[in-house]
Protein backbone atom coordinates (compact mmCIF):
# COMPACT_ATOMS: atom_id res chain seq x y z
CA UNK A 1 0.00 0.00 0.00
CA UNK A 2 1.22 3.50 -0.72
CA UNK A 3 3.11 5.58 1.80
CA UNK A 4 0.73 7.33 4.17
CA UNK A 5 1.32 11.09 4.06
CA UNK A 6 -1.93 12.52 5.40
CA UNK A 7 -2.53 13.88 8.86
CA UNK A 8 -5.79 12.41 10.16
CA UNK A 9 -7.08 13.64 13.49
CA UNK A 10 -9.15 16.32 15.17
CA UNK A 11 -7.99 16.24 18.80
CA UNK A 12 -6.51 19.40 20.24
CA UNK A 13 -3.30 17.61 21.31
CA UNK A 14 -2.64 16.33 17.80
CA UNK A 15 -3.57 19.56 16.04
CA UNK A 16 -1.28 21.50 18.37
CA UNK A 17 1.70 19.31 17.41
CA UNK A 18 0.96 19.69 13.69
CA UNK A 19 0.57 23.46 14.05
CA UNK A 20 3.86 23.72 15.89
CA UNK A 21 5.58 21.80 13.08
CA UNK A 22 4.05 24.13 10.50
CA UNK A 23 5.27 27.15 12.45
CA UNK A 24 8.81 25.81 12.83
CA UNK A 25 9.09 24.71 9.19
CA UNK A 26 9.92 28.16 7.83
CA UNK A 27 12.79 28.69 10.26
CA UNK A 28 16.12 27.27 9.13
CA UNK A 29 16.85 25.71 12.51
CA UNK A 30 17.22 22.13 13.82
CA UNK A 31 14.11 20.42 15.18
CA UNK A 32 13.72 17.37 17.41
CA UNK A 33 10.61 15.23 16.99
CA UNK A 34 9.82 13.10 20.05
CA UNK A 35 7.17 10.43 20.30
CA UNK A 36 6.34 6.79 20.91
CA UNK A 37 6.59 4.30 18.07
CA UNK A 38 3.84 4.67 15.53
CA UNK A 39 2.91 8.26 16.39
CA UNK A 40 3.95 9.74 13.03
CA UNK A 41 7.42 11.17 13.60
CA UNK A 42 8.44 10.61 9.97
CA UNK A 43 5.33 12.45 8.74
CA UNK A 44 6.15 15.46 10.92
CA UNK A 45 9.76 15.45 9.69
CA UNK A 46 8.58 15.40 6.07
CA UNK A 47 6.16 18.24 6.80
CA UNK A 48 9.01 20.30 8.25
CA UNK A 49 10.88 19.86 4.97
CA UNK A 50 7.95 20.37 2.56
CA UNK A 51 6.87 23.61 4.20
CA UNK A 52 10.40 25.02 4.43
CA UNK A 53 12.32 27.13 1.96
CA UNK A 54 14.29 23.96 1.15
CA UNK A 55 11.21 22.13 -0.18
CA UNK A 56 12.71 21.73 -3.69
CA UNK A 57 16.08 20.50 -2.42
CA UNK A 58 17.09 16.98 -1.31
CA UNK A 59 15.28 15.32 1.60
CA UNK A 60 17.55 12.54 2.87
CA UNK A 61 16.49 9.99 5.49
CA UNK A 62 18.86 7.97 7.65
CA UNK A 63 17.79 5.44 10.28
CA UNK A 64 20.59 5.49 12.83
CA UNK A 65 19.41 2.25 14.46
CA UNK A 66 19.77 0.33 11.20
CA UNK A 67 23.47 1.17 10.89
CA UNK A 68 26.22 -0.80 12.67
CA UNK A 69 28.36 1.46 14.84
CA UNK A 70 31.39 0.73 12.65
CA UNK A 71 29.61 2.07 9.55
CA UNK A 72 27.48 4.94 10.83
CA UNK A 73 30.22 7.56 10.48
CA UNK A 74 30.94 6.40 6.93
CA UNK A 75 27.22 6.64 6.11
CA UNK A 76 26.92 10.12 7.58
CA UNK A 77 30.14 11.68 6.36
CA UNK A 78 31.27 9.45 3.49
CA UNK A 79 34.65 7.82 2.98
CA UNK A 80 37.66 7.84 0.68
CA UNK A 81 38.74 4.83 -1.33
CA UNK A 82 40.92 2.57 0.81
CA UNK A 83 39.82 4.18 4.09
CA UNK A 84 38.92 0.72 5.46
CA UNK A 85 38.49 -2.83 4.27
CA UNK A 86 35.84 -2.93 1.57
CA UNK A 87 36.06 0.79 0.72
CA UNK A 88 36.97 0.25 -2.93
CA UNK A 89 35.83 3.67 -4.08
CA UNK A 90 35.15 7.14 -2.75
CA UNK A 91 31.61 7.63 -1.49
CA UNK A 92 29.73 10.77 -0.45
CA UNK A 93 27.90 10.60 2.87
CA UNK A 94 24.35 11.58 3.76
CA UNK A 95 25.41 15.10 4.68
CA UNK A 96 26.78 15.70 1.20
CA UNK A 97 23.71 14.10 -0.39
CA UNK A 98 21.47 16.45 1.61
CA UNK A 99 23.49 19.58 0.83
CA UNK A 100 21.05 22.48 0.43
CA UNK A 101 18.18 20.41 1.83
CA UNK A 102 17.14 18.48 4.93
CA UNK A 103 18.71 15.48 6.65
CA UNK A 104 16.28 13.45 8.78
CA UNK A 105 18.05 11.38 11.43
CA UNK A 106 15.63 8.79 12.77
CA UNK A 107 16.34 6.89 16.03
CA UNK A 108 18.88 9.54 17.02
CA UNK A 109 19.34 8.14 20.54
CA UNK A 110 20.98 4.96 19.18
CA UNK A 111 23.96 6.90 17.80
CA UNK A 112 27.31 6.14 19.43
CA UNK A 113 29.16 8.80 21.42
CA UNK A 114 31.89 8.93 18.77
CA UNK A 115 29.38 9.56 16.00
CA UNK A 116 27.65 12.16 18.20
CA UNK A 117 30.91 14.05 18.55
CA UNK A 118 31.41 14.22 14.79
CA UNK A 119 27.76 15.11 14.26
CA UNK A 120 28.17 17.99 16.70
CA UNK A 121 31.03 19.41 14.64
CA UNK A 122 29.03 19.07 11.43
CA UNK A 123 26.05 20.88 12.96
CA UNK A 124 28.13 23.57 14.62
CA UNK A 125 30.55 24.42 11.83
CA UNK A 126 28.75 23.18 8.71
CA UNK A 127 31.69 20.98 7.78
CA UNK A 128 32.12 17.24 7.33
CA UNK A 129 35.25 15.20 6.77
CA UNK A 130 35.07 11.89 4.97
CA UNK A 131 36.53 8.87 6.73
CA UNK A 132 40.13 8.52 5.55
CA UNK A 133 40.44 12.18 4.55
CA UNK A 134 41.78 15.28 6.30
CA UNK A 135 40.04 17.78 4.02
CA UNK A 136 36.79 19.23 5.41
CA UNK A 137 33.86 19.77 3.03
CA UNK A 138 31.38 22.62 3.51
CA UNK A 139 27.73 21.56 3.63
CA UNK A 140 24.47 23.45 4.09
CA UNK A 141 22.07 21.02 5.77
CA UNK A 142 19.09 21.43 8.05
CA UNK A 143 18.87 18.69 10.68
CA UNK A 144 15.58 17.16 11.76
CA UNK A 145 16.00 14.30 14.22
CA UNK A 146 13.55 11.91 15.87
CA UNK A 147 13.60 9.55 18.82
CA UNK A 148 11.27 7.78 21.23
CA UNK A 149 13.70 8.37 24.11
CA UNK A 150 13.76 11.18 26.68
CA UNK A 151 17.09 12.72 25.66
CA UNK A 152 17.67 14.83 28.83
CA UNK A 153 17.57 11.57 30.83
CA UNK A 154 20.15 10.05 28.47
CA UNK A 155 22.35 13.09 29.04
CA UNK A 156 22.10 12.50 32.80
CA UNK A 157 23.16 8.87 32.22
CA UNK A 158 26.13 9.98 30.04
CA UNK A 159 24.61 8.24 27.02
CA UNK A 160 24.01 11.40 25.00
CA UNK A 161 26.11 14.53 24.62
CA UNK A 162 24.66 17.57 26.35
CA UNK A 163 26.27 19.97 23.88
CA UNK A 164 24.77 18.09 20.92
CA UNK A 165 21.35 18.16 22.55
CA UNK A 166 21.71 21.92 23.03
CA UNK A 167 22.49 22.35 19.33
CA UNK A 168 19.60 20.18 18.09
CA UNK A 169 16.82 21.31 20.43
CA UNK A 170 16.00 24.74 19.01
CA UNK A 171 12.47 23.39 18.76
CA UNK A 172 11.14 20.14 20.23
CA UNK A 173 7.85 18.74 18.93
CA UNK A 174 6.43 16.01 21.15
CA UNK A 175 3.72 13.95 19.49
CA UNK A 176 0.85 12.72 21.68
CA UNK A 177 0.20 8.96 21.84
CA UNK A 178 -3.06 7.76 20.32
CA UNK A 179 -4.58 7.05 23.76
CA UNK A 180 -4.28 10.80 24.54
CA UNK A 181 -5.89 11.92 21.28
CA UNK A 182 -9.51 12.29 22.35
CA UNK A 183 -11.94 11.39 19.58
CA UNK A 184 -9.27 10.42 17.04
CA UNK A 185 -9.44 6.64 17.38
CA UNK A 186 -12.81 6.30 15.65
CA UNK A 187 -11.86 8.91 13.02
CA UNK A 188 -8.67 7.07 12.13
CA UNK A 189 -10.35 3.65 12.26
CA UNK A 190 -13.04 4.80 9.83
CA UNK A 191 -10.42 6.24 7.49
CA UNK A 192 -8.34 3.04 7.44
CA UNK A 193 -11.49 0.91 7.25
CA UNK A 194 -12.88 2.73 4.22
CA UNK A 195 -9.55 2.46 2.41
CA UNK A 196 -9.25 -1.27 3.09
CA UNK A 197 -12.86 -1.86 2.06
CA UNK A 198 -12.11 -0.13 -1.24
CA UNK A 199 -9.03 -2.32 -1.76
CA UNK A 200 -11.19 -5.41 -1.23
CA UNK A 201 -13.84 -4.13 -3.66
CA UNK A 202 -16.67 -3.63 -1.16
CA UNK A 203 -19.51 -1.65 -2.69
CA UNK A 204 -20.25 0.33 0.49
CA UNK A 205 -18.60 0.94 3.82
CA UNK A 206 -20.79 -0.66 6.55
CA UNK A 207 -19.05 1.01 9.49
CA UNK A 208 -18.21 -0.60 12.82
CA UNK A 209 -20.48 -2.37 15.28
CA UNK A 210 -20.80 -1.32 18.94
CA UNK A 211 -18.60 -4.15 20.22
CA UNK A 212 -15.72 -3.17 17.90
CA UNK A 213 -16.05 0.51 18.81
CA UNK A 214 -16.00 -0.30 22.53
CA UNK A 215 -12.95 -2.53 22.07
CA UNK A 216 -11.11 0.26 20.22
CA UNK A 217 -11.77 2.76 22.98
CA UNK A 218 -10.77 0.28 25.68
CA UNK A 219 -7.43 -0.63 24.12
CA UNK A 220 -4.23 1.20 25.14
CA UNK A 221 -2.69 1.16 21.63
CA UNK A 222 1.00 0.81 22.58
CA UNK A 223 1.83 0.80 18.87
CA UNK A 224 -0.29 3.92 18.30
CA UNK A 225 -1.52 4.77 14.78
CA UNK A 226 0.58 2.07 13.12
CA UNK A 227 -0.95 -0.58 15.36
CA UNK A 228 -4.46 0.82 14.82
CA UNK A 229 -4.04 0.63 11.06
CA UNK A 230 -2.94 -3.02 11.25
CA UNK A 231 -5.80 -3.98 13.57
CA UNK A 232 -8.44 -2.28 11.39
CA UNK A 233 -7.15 -3.60 8.07
CA UNK A 234 -6.87 -7.11 9.51
CA UNK A 235 -10.45 -6.91 10.81
CA UNK A 236 -11.80 -5.74 7.44
CA UNK A 237 -10.23 -8.48 5.35
CA UNK A 238 -11.29 -11.17 7.85
CA UNK A 239 -14.90 -9.93 8.01
CA UNK A 240 -17.18 -12.36 6.18
CA UNK A 241 -20.21 -10.14 5.43
CA UNK A 242 -19.42 -6.73 3.83
CA UNK A 243 -23.05 -5.67 4.26
CA UNK A 244 -22.94 -5.85 8.07
CA UNK A 245 -20.98 -3.51 10.36
CA UNK A 246 -17.55 -4.85 11.23
CA UNK A 247 -17.81 -5.97 14.84
CA UNK A 248 -14.79 -8.16 15.58
CA UNK A 249 -11.21 -7.02 16.17
CA UNK A 250 -8.02 -9.01 16.75
CA UNK A 251 -5.43 -6.98 18.62
CA UNK A 252 -2.79 -9.72 18.81
CA UNK A 253 -2.02 -11.36 15.45
CA UNK A 254 0.11 -13.97 17.25
CA UNK A 255 -2.74 -15.17 19.47
CA UNK A 256 -3.32 -18.87 18.80
CA UNK A 257 -3.91 -22.01 20.88
CA UNK A 258 -1.03 -23.58 18.95
CA UNK A 259 1.56 -20.86 19.34
CA UNK A 260 5.02 -22.13 20.35
CA UNK A 261 6.08 -21.55 23.94
CA UNK A 262 9.56 -20.13 24.44
CA UNK A 263 10.86 -20.45 27.96
CA UNK A 264 13.74 -18.15 28.81
CA UNK A 265 15.70 -19.07 31.97
CA UNK A 266 15.87 -16.22 34.45
CA UNK A 267 19.25 -14.82 35.41
CA UNK A 268 20.44 -15.61 38.93
CA UNK A 269 20.33 -12.00 40.09
CA UNK A 270 16.77 -11.70 38.79
CA UNK A 271 15.49 -14.71 40.74
CA UNK A 272 17.05 -13.75 44.04
CA UNK A 273 14.44 -11.16 45.03
CA UNK A 274 11.58 -12.24 42.78
CA UNK A 275 8.27 -13.26 44.34
CA UNK A 276 7.63 -16.98 44.47
CA UNK A 277 4.90 -17.00 41.81
CA UNK A 278 5.29 -20.65 40.74
CA UNK A 279 5.16 -22.05 44.28
CA UNK A 280 1.67 -20.76 45.08
CA UNK A 281 -1.19 -23.21 44.45
CA UNK A 282 -3.68 -22.48 41.71
CA UNK A 283 -7.09 -21.22 42.78
CA UNK A 284 -9.79 -23.85 42.80
CA UNK A 285 -12.91 -23.22 40.68
CA UNK A 286 -16.10 -22.49 42.61
CA UNK A 287 -17.79 -25.72 43.86
CA UNK A 288 -21.34 -26.68 43.09
CA UNK A 289 -23.47 -26.34 39.94
CA UNK A 290 -22.98 -23.39 37.59
CA UNK A 291 -26.05 -21.64 36.18
CA UNK A 292 -24.19 -18.93 34.23
CA UNK A 293 -21.01 -20.27 32.62
CA UNK A 294 -19.80 -16.90 31.27
CA UNK A 295 -20.19 -15.20 34.65
CA UNK A 296 -18.46 -18.11 36.40
CA UNK A 297 -15.52 -18.04 33.98
CA UNK A 298 -15.21 -14.26 34.32
CA UNK A 299 -15.29 -14.54 38.10
CA UNK A 300 -12.67 -17.29 38.09
CA UNK A 301 -10.43 -15.26 35.76
CA UNK A 302 -10.78 -12.18 37.97
CA UNK A 303 -9.89 -14.18 41.08
CA UNK A 304 -6.78 -15.61 39.39
CA UNK A 305 -5.67 -12.15 38.28
CA UNK A 306 -6.25 -10.61 41.71
CA UNK A 307 -4.40 -13.44 43.47
CA UNK A 308 -1.46 -13.36 41.04
CA UNK A 309 -1.14 -9.57 41.22
CA UNK A 310 -1.06 -9.73 45.03
CA UNK A 311 1.60 -12.45 45.01
CA UNK A 312 3.66 -10.46 42.50
CA UNK A 313 3.41 -7.33 44.62
CA UNK A 314 1.23 -5.71 41.96
CA UNK A 315 4.05 -5.72 39.40
CA UNK A 316 2.22 -6.19 36.09
CA UNK A 317 5.29 -7.37 34.20
CA UNK A 318 6.10 -10.10 36.74
CA UNK A 319 2.45 -11.15 36.92
CA UNK A 320 2.25 -11.36 33.12
CA UNK A 321 5.27 -13.69 33.04
CA UNK A 322 3.75 -15.83 35.82
CA UNK A 323 0.53 -16.27 33.83
CA UNK A 324 2.19 -16.71 30.44
CA UNK A 325 0.70 -13.48 29.08
CA UNK A 326 2.20 -10.55 27.25
CA UNK A 327 2.33 -7.18 29.00
CA UNK A 328 -0.45 -5.82 26.75
CA UNK A 329 -2.63 -8.88 27.41
CA UNK A 330 -2.46 -8.58 31.19
CA UNK A 331 -3.14 -4.84 31.06
CA UNK A 332 -6.23 -5.52 28.94
CA UNK A 333 -7.39 -8.26 31.34
CA UNK A 334 -6.87 -6.06 34.41
CA UNK A 335 -8.82 -3.24 32.78
CA UNK A 336 -11.62 -5.62 31.82
CA UNK A 337 -12.08 -6.73 35.44
CA UNK A 338 -11.53 -3.32 37.03
CA UNK A 339 -8.26 -4.39 38.69
CA UNK A 340 -5.99 -1.73 37.17
CA UNK A 341 -6.48 0.87 39.87
DSSP string covering 169-228:
-SEEEEPPPGGGSTTHHHHHHHHHHHHHHHHTT-SS---B-HHHHHHHHH---TTHHHHH
| Every domain of the chain and the residues it spans | 12-176, 189-238, 268-336
Q: What pLDDT digit, counting tens, does each position of 36-87 carry?
A: 999 999 999 999 999 999 999 999 999 998 887 778 888 898 888 877 777 7
Is the pLDDT reported for residue 159 higher than 50?
Answer: yes
The separation between CA 206 and the C-alpha centre of its own chain, rounded to angstroms, equals 30
- Domain 189-238: state its class: mainly alpha
Residues β-bridged to residue 128: 137
Of residues 248 and 286, which shows the higher confidence score?
248
Residue 276 — pLDDT band, cuts 50, 70, 90?
very low
- Interhelix angle 224-238/184-199, rounded to 10 degrees, is 40
CA-based nearest residue to 5, from 59, 83, 74: 59
Residue with the bigger pLDDT between 296 and 160: it is 160
- pLDDT at res. 6: 72
The domain 12-176: what is its CATH number? 3.40.50.300
CA 158-161-162 angle, to 5 degrees, is 100
Q: Find out whether 38 and 175 touch, Cβ atoms under 8 Å.
A: no
Q: What is the mean pLDDT of residues 337-341?
A: 75
Note the pLDDT of residue 277: 45
Taking a C-beta distance cutoff of 8 angstroms, is the pair 50, 58 a contact?
A: no
Considering only the top CATH level, what class is 268-336?
Answer: mainly alpha
**Element (DSSP H or E) covering residue 49:** helix 41-50
Amino acid sequence: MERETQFIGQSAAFQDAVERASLAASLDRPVLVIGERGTGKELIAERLHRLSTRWDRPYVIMNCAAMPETLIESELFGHEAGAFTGATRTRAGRFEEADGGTLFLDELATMSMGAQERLLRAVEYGEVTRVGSSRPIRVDVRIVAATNEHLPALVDDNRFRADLLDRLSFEVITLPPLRAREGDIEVLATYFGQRMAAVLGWEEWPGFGPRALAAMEGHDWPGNVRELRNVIERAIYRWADPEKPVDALSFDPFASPWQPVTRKPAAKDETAGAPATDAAPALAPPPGPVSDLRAAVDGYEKAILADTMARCRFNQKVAAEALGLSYDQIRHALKKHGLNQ
